Structure 1
Amino acid sequence: MRQSKTLNTLAVAIALALTAGAAQAENGFKVGDTTVTYGGFVKLDMMYNETDGEIAGVGRDFYVPALTPIGGKSTSRFDAHARQSRFFFGTATDLGNGEKMVGRLEFDMMTSSNGNDERTTNGYSPVIRHAFVTYKNWTVGQTWSNFMDLQSLPDTLDFVGNADAAIFIRQAQVRYTNGNFSIAVENPESTVGRFGSGSRITTDDNATPDLTFGYNFKTQNASFRLGGLLRQIAIDGTYDGVAYDDSITSYGVSLSGKFNFANKNDIRFTLNHGKGLGRYVGLNTFNGAVLTSATSAAELEAIDATSFSVAYRHLWNDQWRSTFLYSMLSASNDVSLTGAGVTKSTHSYSANALYQFNPKFMMGIEYKFANREVESGLDGDMHRIQFSAKYDF
């Protein structure tokens, strides 16, 4: 009898603790002077692809313009994964003087190369998306590039959506923001094309950080962002037995925005152009520069690139919505240096239908067509049907 009473008392205590814990979890929990929050989502992606040859690597998990195959036999493939699922920890520390320091640590499995055993476990290791702290006007750590505009990304099932046109990059940086203006120094990296072959050298030889600028401005029904990039493309090392040593300055400009309509529909766009944009656009479809010879006297010549996308999102009712998207990317290659096998242009379009069961759960289907053309004139197509289900927590 006494044991039963003790168990009942313990059960009530546990129930009360769980109730209190659940209430506290909604607003985070305290660790000393720091409030910690937790969130993320679980997402299932299923894709059926028809291509002119095999898609390589992560191109089977999400759309990567450079990986649309060319010249192979007609190929059909089905893939399913939950790699885009992610989780994050947010922190807000009270400094005791009315100020707060805010941090974020976020992971997903989308680009993880550790695991990939689809025979049994389908295990993938988490990889860092964001790891930064913000204090007053300063942001320090890894997050989206200051050259990028999140609001212009379309509402798609594909991981990026407008991958041809998007400035899409996360990297370590120190950023200063004052009102609508921001400036940052960011981690540099150079991708250089070998002379005549079209293959790539990722050099990591930069001596200066990338410099990015951003300015946001609004009208009554629209918001815009003007971005700028100034950076060094460098090579200083021995590759394939040849010692190279050269660097050039490259730049990029970006105008993007979002038009909002009274019925909650919107149009999102981005327009980017630059000399040596390279890895900053199209998920590094193009190199930043190409070597002018295969000798130690070689110099770097920057590659011009232009990209554009526009997406219209339409809300059919409170639960159904669709996005119609067009995206393109083109380069001005000097074929005498790059060879005729490098990518000349890519474009894609897509349409989807998404059903929001409740604020936390969505399911949808999306069709995407993509095309890639190389300088020789050969091209290849991709047709993809994607089904996704997403639970936000």
Structure 2
Amino acid sequence: MNKLYARKPLVIAVAIAIPLMLGTASVNSAEFDIADTKVAVGGYAKFMLNYDTDGTITAPFNGDLYSVYTTPIDGSANAEKSDLHMTARESRLFIKTASENKYGTLKTYVEGDFFADIDSDGPTWSNSNGFRIRHAYGEMTMGKHVVLAGQTWSNFMDFAGIMPSMDFATDPGTTFVRQPQVRYQYNIGKGQYTSISLENPTLGLTAAGPYTLVNNGSSEDVMPDIIAKYFYANSRVTFSPRVVIRRFELEGDDAFGYGLALNTSLKFGDGHKAVLGLMYGDGIGRYAGLGFNAGAGINADGETDTLEYSSITGGVVFALQQNMRLAIGAGYSEQDEKGLEDGILTEYANKTAFSWHTNLFWNITPDIEWAVGVTMGDVENMADKEGDMTRFQTYVKYTF
């Protein structure tokens, strides 16, 4: 603890100095017409500083993200280390279009960032990172009917009912999946719709924490994941139940899994917001927490079997001023020990994970945002061994 408090003044000083060095120049997104199509080009440049103490991580993406599931277990190589590093790889670009035709309005959206790893060109000399596709889809709106095809956020997600975070990683139990899909949405009325989607069925199973795959991560995928969602919103409340049905086939044997989720939010006072999320599944796997939980595997009898998972998340976002907000949130998840008893999981697999975080966001101008925050995470594996660490973060984001 003495080492932690000795280093904290440096971290705090850097976090405070960053916004003071900013200018107030503003750059707007480029919007123009090509024939009968409206085109917009934009994105943002983002600088982030991370400081880990009482443990550090090297994955995913070389530690630029802190998924709580990757918290080092006490006694492991990184459990007592501290580390400071900076990155700009979350910076992104997008292009979107909108045009009218005889059926309705066609919109397209393509977005990418620099989170693809280039192992041969690391931070020693250039800090280069590869450009990758985040979103690439087309969407046709025909009155109350909307059809989408391409890659984007899973229909199993609900952004209205989750806590904001400073990077892609979130508290345990928060769904984070972006993948190819075909989706149909029916707009019932103002702020209310139902949707169903057929999504990429990639297995993504982990047996021993985040690094060892069940059945080498492979399966015979013959059926897409099927997801149904209902969403309701008014001026104060949002409410969104979802369900996903999955099929697993490993070494010629198959099993079905499912997941249920419910997120809700409530606005109160002068711009404040509270959120709550619940999730339960038997075979939910990668839909929970960046994929670091197993969905199914081969048990001791050689059969495909699914694994239970449950989680709860929540928090409050306080509007301190018109351009400043404070977020305080937490999440807890649990993976059933039966997977260890049945021989699907190893003792190194995640059993429970918990984290809390607090972030302060300040929109200095409409185009410049500064944030500072801290996340504390704790995990326990199937061998009842625990680990914890703390990450301090700050960033500056220039939107254009």
Normalised to the residue count of structure 2, the TM-score between the two structures is 0.84
- 2:382 paired with 1:367: no
Deviation at 1:155, TM superposition (A): 2.4
Residues 204, 392 of structure 1: alpha-carbon distance in 2 compared, 3 angstrom cutoff: farther
After superposition, the C-alpha distances for 1:202-258 in whole angstroms (9 at most, x for unaligned) are 1142111110011012355101111110010222xxxxxxxx221110001110022
* Identity across the alignment (%): 25
Greater C-alpha Rg: 1
Aligned to 1:185: 198
Deviation at 1:340, TM superposition (A): 2.1
**Contact preservation (8 Å) 1:189, 1:233:** no
Between the aligned partners of 2:261 and 2:373, the Cα distance in structure 1 is 28
After superposition, the C-alpha distances for 1:98-150 in whole angstroms (9 at most, x for unaligned) are 83210000001134446652122211121111100011220011111111112
Which of 292, 296, 304 does residue 299 from structure 2 map onto?
A: 292
Aligned to 2:164: 155
Aligned to 2:32: 29
Deviation at 1:321, TM superposition (A): 1.7
What is the alpha-carbon root mean square deviation over aligned residues?
2.3
| Gaps in structure 1 of 5+ consecutive residues | 1-22, 236-243
Which of 57, 65, 68 does residue 68 from structure 2 map onto?
A: 65
Which of 211, 225, 245 does residue 210 from structure 1 map onto?
A: 225
Between the aligned partners of 1:26 and 1:87, the Cα distance in structure 2 is 11
Aligned to 1:301: 305
Between the aligned partners of 2:174 and 2:60, the Cα distance in structure 1 is 20
Residues 305, 59 of structure 1: alpha-carbon distance in 2 compared, 3 angstrom cutoff: farther
After superposition, the C-alpha distances for 1:319-366 in whole angstroms (9 at most, x for unaligned) are 332100111111113222123221101110011222221111111210
Between the aligned partners of 2:177 and 2:257, the Cα distance in structure 1 is 17
Aligned to 1:317: 321
Aligned to 1:176: 184
Between the aligned partners of 2:207 and 2:375, the Cα distance in structure 1 is 32
- 2:391 paired with 1:376: no
Between the aligned partners of 2:346 and 2:163, the Cα distance in structure 1 is 34
Q: How many residues align?
A: 357
| Gaps in structure 2 of 5+ consecutive residues | 1-26, 188-192
Between the aligned partners of 1:54 and 1:223, the Cα distance in structure 2 is 35
Residues 52, 220 of structure 1: alpha-carbon distance in 2 compared, 3 angstrom cutoff: closer
Between the aligned partners of 1:110 and 1:385, the Cα distance in structure 2 is 20
Aligned to 1:222: 237
Which of 118, 121, 135 does residue 140 from structure 2 map onto?
A: 135
Between the aligned partners of 2:335 and 2:212, the Cα distance in structure 1 is 13
**Which range is displaced more, 272-281 or 26-35?**
26-35
**Contact preservation (8 Å) 1:105, 1:131:** yes
Aligned to 1:15: none
Q: Secondary structure at the match of 2:82?
A: strand
Question: What amino acid maps onto 1:65 in structure 2?
Answer: V
Between the aligned partners of 1:53 and 1:79, the Cα distance in structure 2 is 11
**Superposed counterparts of 1:212-361, under 5 Å:** 212-235=227-250, 244-293=251-300, 298-334=302-338, 335-336=340-341, 337=343, 338-361=345-368
Question: What amino acid maps onto 1:264 in structure 2?
Answer: G
- 2:77 paired with 1:74: no
After superposition, the C-alpha distances for 1:29-81 in whole angstroms (9 at most, x for unaligned) are 22232221011111111011024465434262112132111122510111100
**Contact preservation (8 Å) 1:115, 1:125:** no
Between the aligned partners of 1:66 and 1:329, the Cα distance in structure 2 is 10
**Contact preservation (8 Å) 1:233, 1:248:** yes
Q: Secondary structure at the match of 2:330?
A: strand
Question: What amino acid maps onto 2:115 in structure 1?
Answer: M
